[in-house]
Structure 1
Amino acid sequence: MSNSSSSRLLAESIAQEIALLPEGARIATHRELVRRFAASGTTVSAALALLAQRGLIAARPGAGTYRTAARPVAPTGDTSWQEAALDPAGTEGALGALRDFQAPALLQTLSTSGPDIVDLNGGYLHPGLQPLGALATAMSRAARRTQAWDRPPAGGLPELRDWFAADIGGGLGRHDILVCAAGQSALAIALRALAQPGDPVLLESPTYPGAIAAARAAGLRPVPVPMDADGLRSDHLDRALARTRARVIIVQPLFQNPTGASVSVARQEEIRAIARRHGAFVIEDDFARHMAHADASAAPPPMVADDPDGTIVHIRSLTKVTSPNLRVAAIAARGPVLARLRSAHVIDQLFVPAPLQLTALEVVTAPGWRRALTALSVALAHRREVATEAVLAAFGDHSLARRPRGGYHLWVSLPAHLDEHQLVPAALATGVAITPGTNFSATGNSLRHVRLSYVAAPSASGVDDAIRRLAPLLIEH
């Protein structure tokens, strides 16, 4: 049974229960529904989203989910024909490539939990860590600009492109920059622009589920390449390029999601040289550039900074260090490839709305921008230490192969008798949402790891308590 059909069936079951409740009554919590229906947290979240779309329930942040007033809803006709129409087996193209829009792992990263769940799954800053004052001021100032309601240039506002060029470095200019709607959009644009349906794309193993989903949605074939402490292994990369003739490689250079590894300067040079020799592009997803912790050593420059031949297509986003709603990022590239990227962007989005670009520009050029990043780096270092101590106490001394001084998560190995398919639902039943390692596998295999994020929970003490709450679930019976 597909994830979508499971959530629809669960939504119908919950709807029958809701029908018996009076208006304004609180429905069962996310945690209770997981336990009662023996469903995954993702399926429960999807079912509740369906019920909210139908107007049967409404969430009140911090308070729970409640039965809404009944309202007439037009009956749904027979939509069973859609199953055949959407069956990819009947839509295979001439190249034999199928576009896959199933993205359960990516959707899980966006799933919201009830107030009774501690979120160690989410990858965005809790509002308590966001620069909310700066964001509010920036949006207010942006809205007062007359150019906020003019159509912006397709490539982005010149001033914002200038800022991104300076922030990335390497002698880039505004003509090398394309402003787009956050990192996930930039990744999807780059993959479609650089590869054709049916092509292989080389990914770190394990890697960010959004990269896997974007590759499959573009009709590409993800090929995993092993990593070590210095990032993508150059020997395996060389062999994979020779074997597959891939034209695209995706690399996360700093505090990789999920392992936390950073690519060393020497490895950067190797990867760039290997890619250039094989005539391949490297998409450098630099999502964590501004998430170095207060006690981190100086980070190496991005790969694009020393790339005169245009091998690197660089992505730099503002979303992770501000708010999930400030969906502004830049693609940086040298040479004719930027024209291809710009065309793909225009076809998809035309342009990023001017009010959003101006808000981003106000944020990053305000006097308090650097202070906000410094405050965040201190908070992240504190949360990392708290989470690390809790993981070692709950999972054991050998559970962390790496303790990254940047990013927002820990990659935790599980004891031999347990895998993520057992731990994740058990954790949710105790009120803790965590991310299964399988989500980061291009092949869907169990990795016997879980990722624990420490930025989505309200406080460091809440992170500590939630991780230690997992300890009893790890005991072998």
Structure 2
Amino acid sequence: MKNDSTDRIAADLRTWIASAPPGAQLPSNRSLMAKYGASPVTVQKAVRSLAASGLVDSRPGAGTFVRTVRTSRPVDYGWQTAALGTLSSRFTSLSATQRTAAPDAIGLHSGYPAPELLPERLVRAALVRASRTSTALTRSPAAGLPELQGWFANELADATPAGVTPPTARDVTVLSGSQSGLSSIFRAVIGPGQPLLVESPTYWGAILAAAQAGVQLVPIPAGPKGPDPVDLARAFDQTGARAFYAQPTYANPTGTQWPVERALAVLATVRRHGAFLIEDDWAHDLAIDTEPHPVAAHDEDGHVLYLRSLTKSVSPALRIAAVIARGPVRDRILADRAAESMYVSGLLQAAALDVVTQPGWRTHLRGFRRQLRARRDLLTNALREHVPDAHIERPPLGGLHLWARLPDGTDVEQLARNCETRGVIIAPGNEWFPAEPSGPYIRLNYSGPDPDRFNEAARIIGETLKENH
């Protein structure tokens, strides 16, 4: 009986509200009790049901009123056009690699390994231990924790041949990810309006950082053995550039590694022109078929600015990297970093150092290498079967990605959109070119989740490619 009375009162009030103007006051509870012969509880329930439906607002001490309907209209943001001015970068949205995939989609677009490939136990334990130290409550030095500086310096020193002076801890500046290091180097060392030589294709994040710093990129073609030193020398002569940005070890996106002879020839060219080589060793820990050989290990007089990242091998949540630079250029980079972020979280630095100094770290890297090889080969074979028109010049020697050229005339942006509608997320290759793309490429991450679905993903890519042609 009580529920019927509540529903009847609520229904009558809904009819009354439908013809009442916004802001009209409902009859008082006392009036409703008298009209319907209902108890206070029944009336209160009826009114609460109207409030839950968004029809009324109750104001303590004032009464209950018909809710004012606010007409939705498009907001005019036109004023921002003048305030923002002309675009300073061609990147106006997130990279294709940063997109969030639907839970059931097959994600081949990301630039990170799947969590199950990372040293989860080591990372969790390290974070707990770091939280119990003074680093959890104090700021770290601007250049980084001395112990972590020493670890980065020793890693490069171990690769330094006899007769070459190895780096010291003082040469190291710890970074919150290598992307921030690139931004600082481009601002502090190159400068707005100045030319920077870069491999083509190259890391899209470096292209973005250069654009934001106002640096003018000069592409140098990079073949299966890296850039031709003759082409590099010609570009230095023509542009007067003071630096060359490159990824000699497992380049993103191609997976190429420079032979030692090519690396030494490039370094000699850089030295002869009184310039810097910005060596991005992002994939140092992602070896598959070869061992990493940093060019910086052969640098005797400060021509190489060496970036080393732990983000891909330890955890993207830690985002710890370092730049090793010797001479006045180190002070210039450090000053820029201090102005940008003051210092890197000591807690994260301590946790990263804990992970890489544990006995289990080397064990993790050996297992990581095996899993990367297995997933690379699994995706490569799936593409050969289902996308025979996709050409992979050679399997990547390390890193996380396959770089595949599609038939001429393929609209890779449209292909990516069509694949996404069928549940497969891929990265169009255009973002990796500092100028016009040299062909239609896609980049596929073989270290992502769901390797058991690689065959399904390749089948969908192949079918979609045929439909696009």
TM-score range, shorter chain: 0.7 to 0.9
Does structure 1 retain, via aligned residues, the 8 Å contact 2:173–2:324? yes
Letter in 2 for 1:167: E
Q: Does 1:383 align with 2:375?
A: yes
Letter in 2 for 1:340: R
Distance 1:250 1:103 in 2: 23
Q: 1:100 aligns with which of 89, 93, 103?
A: 89
Q: Does 1:460 align with 2:451?
A: yes
Letter in 1 for 2:91: Q
In structure 2, the residue matched to 1:84 is 82
Decide whether aligned partners of structure 1 residues 436 and 398 sit closer, same or farther in structure 2, where only a CA change above 3 A counts.
closer
- Residue pairs, 1:131-150, within 5 angstroms: 131-150=119-138
Q: Provide the TM-score with structure 2 as the length reference.
A: 0.80
Q: 1:432 aligns with which of 424, 427, 434?
A: 424
Letter in 1 for 2:291: A
In structure 2, the residue matched to 1:312 is 304
Distance 1:212 1:359 in 2: 30
User: Match of 1:274, SS?
Assistant: helix
Letter in 2 for 1:214: A
In structure 2, the residue matched to 1:115 is 103
Does structure 1 retain, via aligned residues, the 8 Å contact 2:257–2:397? no
1:168, CA displacement in angstroms? Answer: 2.0
Distance 2:116 2:456 in 1: 18
Distance 1:103 1:262 in 2: 31
Does structure 1 retain, via aligned residues, the 8 Å contact 2:241–2:275? yes
Letter in 1 for 2:149: R
In structure 2, the residue matched to 1:241 is 236
Distance 1:361 1:283 in 2: 24
Distance 2:206 2:92 in 1: 10
Does structure 1 retain, via aligned residues, the 8 Å contact 2:314–2:355? no
Distance 1:435 1:237 in 2: 29
Q: 2:463 aligns with which of 448, 469, 472?
A: 472
User: Match of 1:415, SS?
Assistant: coil
1:417, CA displacement in angstroms? Answer: 4.5
1:459, CA displacement in angstroms? Answer: 2.6
Q: Does 1:347 align with 2:339?
A: yes
Decide whether aligned partners of structure 1 residues 367 and 341 sit closer, same or farther in structure 2, where only a CA change above 3 A counts.
same
Decide whether aligned partners of structure 1 residues 404 and 238 sit closer, same or farther in structure 2, where only a CA change above 3 A counts.
same
Does structure 2 retain, via aligned residues, the 8 Å contact 1:231–1:263? yes
Letter in 1 for 2:239: T
Letter in 2 for 1:100: S
Distance 1:380 1:298 in 2: 14
Q: Does 1:395 align with 2:387?
A: yes
Distance 1:416 1:393 in 2: 20
Distance 1:103 1:444 in 2: 18
Distance 1:309 1:76 in 2: 60
In angstroms, what is the RMSD of aligned CA positions?
Answer: 2.0
**Aligned length, in residue pairs:** 391
Q: 2:246 aligns with which of 231, 251, 269?
A: 251
In structure 2, the residue matched to 1:186 is 181
Letter in 2 for 1:149: L
Distance 2:180 2:291 in 1: 29
1:76, CA displacement in angstroms? Answer: 9.5
Q: Does 1:168 align with 2:168?
A: no
1:88, CA displacement in angstroms? Answer: 2.8
1:365, CA displacement in angstroms? Answer: 1.0
In structure 2, the residue matched to 1:279 is 274
User: Match of 1:442, SS?
Assistant: coil
Letter in 2 for 1:308: E
1:102, CA displacement in angstroms? Answer: 2.8
Q: Which runs of 4+ in 1 moved over 4 A?
A: 74-78
* Higher Rg of the two aligned structures: 2
1:175, CA displacement in angstroms? Answer: 0.8
Distance 1:473 1:264 in 2: 37
Does structure 1 retain, via aligned residues, the 8 Å contact 2:105–2:424? yes
Letter in 1 for 2:462: A
Q: Provide the TM-score with structure 1 as the length reference.
A: 0.79
Distance 1:205 1:186 in 2: 20
In structure 2, the residue matched to 1:358 is 350
Does structure 1 retain, via aligned residues, the 8 Å contact 2:109–2:426? yes
User: Match of 1:469, SS?
Assistant: helix
Distance 1:118 1:150 in 2: 42
In structure 1, the residue matched to 2:19 is none
Decide whether aligned partners of structure 1 residues 280 and 428 sit closer, same or farther in structure 2, where only a CA change above 3 A counts.
same
User: Match of 1:475, SS?
Assistant: helix
Decide whether aligned partners of structure 1 residues 322 and 351 sit closer, same or farther in structure 2, where only a CA change above 3 A counts.
same
1:388, CA displacement in angstroms? Answer: 0.9
Letter in 2 for 1:465: E
Q: Deviations over 1:197-217 (max 9, x none)?
A: 100111111111101000010
Q: Deviations over 1:71-121 (max 9, x none)?
A: x9x9997542221111137xxxxxxxxx437354x6321111111211100
Decide whether aligned partners of structure 1 residues 76 and 318 sit closer, same or farther in structure 2, where only a CA change above 3 A counts.
farther
Letter in 2 for 1:379: Q
Q: Deviations over 1:115-144 (max 9, x none)?
A: 121110001111121211111101000000
In structure 2, the residue matched to 1:93 is none
User: Match of 1:461, SS?
Assistant: helix
Q: 2:222 aligns with which of 219, 227, 231?
A: 227
Q: Percent identity?
A: 40
Q: 1:297 aligns with which of 290, 293, 305?
A: 290
Q: Deviations over 1:141-168 (max 9, x none)?
A: 0000123311111100000001111112
Q: Deviations over 1:383-413 (max 9, x none)?
A: 0110110111122277110101311111111
Decide whether aligned partners of structure 1 residues 79 and 421 sit closer, same or farther in structure 2, where only a CA change above 3 A counts.
closer
Does structure 1 retain, via aligned residues, the 8 Å contact 2:387–2:458? no
Decide whether aligned partners of structure 1 residues 107 and 419 sit closer, same or farther in structure 2, where only a CA change above 3 A counts.
closer
Does structure 2 retain, via aligned residues, the 8 Å contact 1:148–1:355? yes
In structure 1, the residue matched to 2:17 is none
